[in-house]
Amino acid sequence: MNKWLENKWAVSITAGILLGLSFPPINLSFLSFPAFILFFHLANKTDSYKQLAYYSYAGFVAWNLIGTYWLMMATVPAGIAAILANSVLMTIPLCLAKYFSQKSRSPVLIAVLQASAWVGYEFLHHHWDLSWTWLAIGNAWSNWIGIIQYISATGFLGISFWVVLTSSLTYQLIISKKRSLAYATLGAFLIFPAWSFVLYSTDNTGSNSQEAVNVAIIQPNHDSYQEYAGMSGLTEVVDSLISLTERTITPETQLIIWPENAIDGAIFANSRTAFRIADSARSWRIPLITGTGLFKTYAPDTDELYRGIYPGTDLPFNYFNATLFFNADGSISDYEKANLVPVVERLPFVEFFNAIDVFGWVNWGSIQQFGKGSSPDMLETPQFKTPGLICYDSVYPSWIREFVRDEASFITIITNDGWWGNTSGHHQHFAYARLRAIEFDRWIARSANNGISGIIAPGGQIMQQTDYWVRTGFTGQVFNRSTQTFYTRFGDWLPITCLILVFPFWGFFYFKKN
C-alpha cells in the first residue's frame, strides 16, 4: 500500500476514477471523499505546482472521461477537446489547495481555504463563456436527496464545500493523528447530512395545501439526427405532435408541454406553423409550451450582434434556441435560451472579439451561431406562472433563481437528450433536475424529446418518469408554490463568501512571504 501511495500516477488516476464513478447513473457518490483525500495526498507529495498540475492532469482526464464520455456521441473532436480543456482548469484549484496547505499551520483554516478554493473555482467556471457545470461535485449527489436537503440554503455548491472540507480535514487527521482534529472531521462530515435529515423528515410537498395544475407531458421521440425526424417537413412534424397530444390530454389538462426542438426547424413567431399550434391550443383551451428554433428580426439601425440580413428584406436577424408559449386564447410569446453550450451552440467570447475588432475584419455576428437570450420570460396564466427552461439552462441555478424570484409557481424544463444516445448523459441530466427542485422548493415538470421525461416534487422525489427512447405522453399533477428558500432569497452567498476568503488569504500569505 505504501509503495502504491508513493506512485504519483497511480494516486492521481485512482482519484479520477473514483470521482467518475461517483456520478449518476453509478451513484457511488461517497467515493468523492477518498478521491479528494488522494488528490490532497498527491498535492503533499509533489515538489512544485508544475509537478502537481502534471501528475493531477491524468486523474482529471480520467474523471472527465468517465463522467462525460457521452459528449463524443454528438461530435468526437469537440467532445475530446472539452474533456482535455476542462481537465486543465481543474488543476488550478488543486494547486491553490497545495498553496494554502504550505502557508498555514492551522488544519481547520487549511480545510476551509481548500474547500473555498474549489467552490470558488466551480462558481467562476459557471459564469464565463466557456462555462461547464456538469462535473460540479454537487451534481454527483443528485440522487441522494435525503442527504442534500440543505442545498435549499446553500445552493448545490454547498455539497462541493462539504465534500472538499471533510476530505481535507480527513487527510490532515491521517498525517497529523491529532485527536482534537478527529472531532472537527467527524463534525464536518455529519453536520450537513444531519441538517438534511431533519429537513427531509419534515418535508411537505404541498400536495394537500397548494393548488394543483394538471399537466400533459409529451415525449415524441423524434430522431434528432434526421432532418425533420425523417419526416417530409414541419407540417408532418406538427401532425405527429398534435396526434400524440390529442391521445394524451384529458378534460382536466391545464398545460401541455412539448420538448426542446419539438418544432424541428427555424420559424417566426408569426409563421404558419406557429399559428397552427396556436389554433390547436385555442381549440383545446389549454396553454402549450414548446421548443423551437426561432427567427427574430430587428430594425436596420439595431445595436444587436446579428447573424445577417434576412433574405428578401433589409432587416437584420438572429436565430435562437427558444421556447414558444401559447396561451389558451391563442396568443403567443417566447423565451430565448440564455445558457448556451460553448462552441456547440455559441462561439465563446464572440461579443468581446466583435468589440475589439475595430477594423471589422471578421463578421462576428455571422459566426456567433445561436443568439443569446437575456430575459427571464415566462408563461403566465390565471392559474400558474412557469418558465420554459431549455436543456442547459436547467443546470444553472443562478439563472433559474431569476424566474423563482419573479414568482414562478413551478418549473418547466424542456430538453432534447437524444444527441447523446443511450449513455450516462440523459440519466445525469434528469438527476440534476432534482437539485433544482430542492434548491427552490418547486415542483418540476420535464419534457424530453427522447427521454427521460417526468415530474419531480420539491424534496427531489421522482413522482413520475418515462423510459428512454420511447414515444409516449402522460398526464400528472404539479402544485403551485410561493415559498422562497434561503437560496432563493440570498442566492450565491456561499461561493461569494468562499471567494472573499480565498483572495485576501492568498494575498496575505503572498505579501507576508515577501
Helix (H, G, I), strand (E, B) or coil at 232: coil
Cβ neighbours of residue 298 under 8 Å, at least 6 residues apart?
A: 304, 306, 315, 316, 317, 318
In this prediction, residue 234 carries a pLDDT of 96
Alpha carbons within 13 angstroms on the beta-carbon side of residue 452 total 23
pLDDT tier at 203, thresholds 50, 70, 90:
low
Q: Please say if the pLDDT value at position 208 is more than 70.
A: no
358 located within any domain: no
DSSP per residue over 326-392, as a string?
Answer: E-TTS-EEEEE--SPPBTTTB-TTHHHHHHH-TT--S-GGGGSBS--------EE-SS-EE--EEGG
Average the pLDDT over 478-492 and give the result: 97
For residue range 305-328, what is the model confidence (pLDDT) as tens digits?
999 999 999 999 999 999 999 999
68 located within any domain: yes
Residues 41, 466: Cα–Cα separation, whole Å: 43
pLDDT tier at 177, thresholds 50, 70, 90:
confident
Q: Is the peptide bond before 452 cis (omega within 30 degrees of 0)?
A: yes
Tell me, yes or no, whether 101 and 217 share the same domain.
Answer: no
In this prediction, residue 75 carries a pLDDT of 82
| pTM, 2 dp | 0.95
Average the pLDDT over 459-472 and give the result: 97
Here the CATH number for the domain that contains residue 281 is 3.60.110.10
314 located within any domain: no
Q: Please say if the pLDDT value at position 207 is more than 60.
A: no
Average the pLDDT over 113-136 and give the result: 98
Burial status of residue 329 (CB atoms within 10 A of its CB: 0-12, 13-18, 19 or more): exposed
Average the pLDDT over 395-418 and give the result: 98
**Hey, what's the torsion of the CAs at 31, 142, 125, 425, to 10 degrees?**
90
In this prediction, residue 73 carries a pLDDT of 87
Tell me, yes or no, whether 55 and 107 share the same domain.
Answer: yes
Of the candidate ranges 150-154, 179-183, 215-219, the one whose mean pLDDT is the lowest? 179-183
In this prediction, residue 3 carries a pLDDT of 85
306 located within any domain: no
For residue range 191-202, what is the model confidence (pLDDT) as tens digits?
999 988 888 777
In this prediction, residue 235 carries a pLDDT of 96
Q: Please say if the pLDDT value at position 359 is more than 90.
A: no
Residues 121, 136: Cα–Cα separation, whole Å: 10
Average the pLDDT over 110-120 and give the result: 98
In this prediction, residue 325 carries a pLDDT of 99
310 located within any domain: no
Tell me, yes or no, whether 18 and 159 share the same domain.
Answer: yes
Instruction: Please give the single-letter amino acid code of residue 308.
Output: G
Mean pLDDT of the residues in the chain: 95
Residues 90, 400: Cα–Cα separation, whole Å: 25
Could you give the number of structural domains in the chain? Answer: 2
For residue range 226-255, what is the model confidence (pLDDT) as tens digits?
999 999 999 999 999 999 999 999 999 999
Strands of 389-390's sheet in order across: 389-390, 411-415, 444-448, 454-456, 462-465
In 3D space, the residue among 319, 233, 225, 310 whose CA is nearest the CA of residue 276 turns out to be: 233
Alpha carbons within 13 angstroms on the beta-carbon side of residue 448 total 27
238 located within any domain: yes
CA distances from residue 158 to 81, 119, 124, 393 in whole angstroms, order as listed = 29, 8, 15, 20
In this prediction, residue 1 carries a pLDDT of 63
Tell me, yes or no, whether 182 and 110 share the same domain.
Answer: yes
Alpha carbons within 13 angstroms on the beta-carbon side of residue 207 total 13
Tell me, yes or no, whether 28 and 97 share the same domain.
Answer: yes
Q: Please say if the pLDDT value at position 148 is more than 70.
A: yes
Cβ neighbours of residue 324 under 8 Å, at least 6 residues apart?
A: 263, 269, 274, 277, 289, 290, 291, 292, 294, 332, 333, 334
Q: Please say if the pLDDT value at position 14 is more than 60.
A: yes
pLDDT tier at 514, thresholds 50, 70, 90:
low
471 located within any domain: yes
Tell me, yes or no, whether 20 and 160 share the same domain.
Answer: yes
For residue range 35-91, what is the model confidence (pLDDT) as tens digits?
999 999 999 999 999 999 999 999 999 999 999 999 998 788 889 999 999 999 999
359 located within any domain: no
Average the pLDDT over 491-502 and give the result: 97
Q: Please say if the pLDDT value at position 209 is more than 80.
A: no
In this prediction, residue 291 carries a pLDDT of 98
Residues 266, 264: Cα–Cα separation, whole Å: 7
Tell me, yes or no, whether 190 and 244 share the same domain.
Answer: no
Q: What percent of the chain has pLDDT over 90?
A: 87
Tell me, yes or no, whether 407 and 445 share the same domain.
Answer: yes
Helix (H, G, I), strand (E, B) or coil at 10: helix
Tell me, yes or no, whether 101 and 227 share the same domain.
Answer: no
In this prediction, residue 204 carries a pLDDT of 60
In 3D space, the residue among 462, 431, 486 whose CA is nearest the CA of residue 67 turns out to be: 431
Tell me, yes or no, whether 224 and 199 share the same domain.
Answer: no
**Residue span of the structural domain in which 239 resides:** 212-293+320-338+366-481
Q: What percent of the chain has pLDDT over 70?
A: 97
Tell me, yes or no, whether 191 and 265 share the same domain.
Answer: no
Tell me, yes or no, whether 446 and 370 share the same domain.
Answer: yes
Helix (H, G, I), strand (E, B) or coil at 86: helix
Phi, psi at 336, each rounded to 5°? -105, 130
pLDDT tier at 205, thresholds 50, 70, 90:
low
Whether the Cβ atoms of residue 76 and residue 420 lie closer than 8 Å to each other: no
Alpha carbons within 13 angstroms on the beta-carbon side of residue 1 total 1
Residues 335, 291: Cα–Cα separation, whole Å: 9
In 3D space, the residue among 229, 295, 289 whose CA is nearest the CA of residue 259 turns out to be: 289
Q: Please say if the pLDDT value at position 149 is more than 90.
A: yes
Average the pLDDT over 478-486 and give the result: 97
Whether the Cβ atoms of residue 159 and residue 138 lie closer than 8 Å to each other: yes
In this prediction, residue 95 carries a pLDDT of 97
In this prediction, residue 180 carries a pLDDT of 83
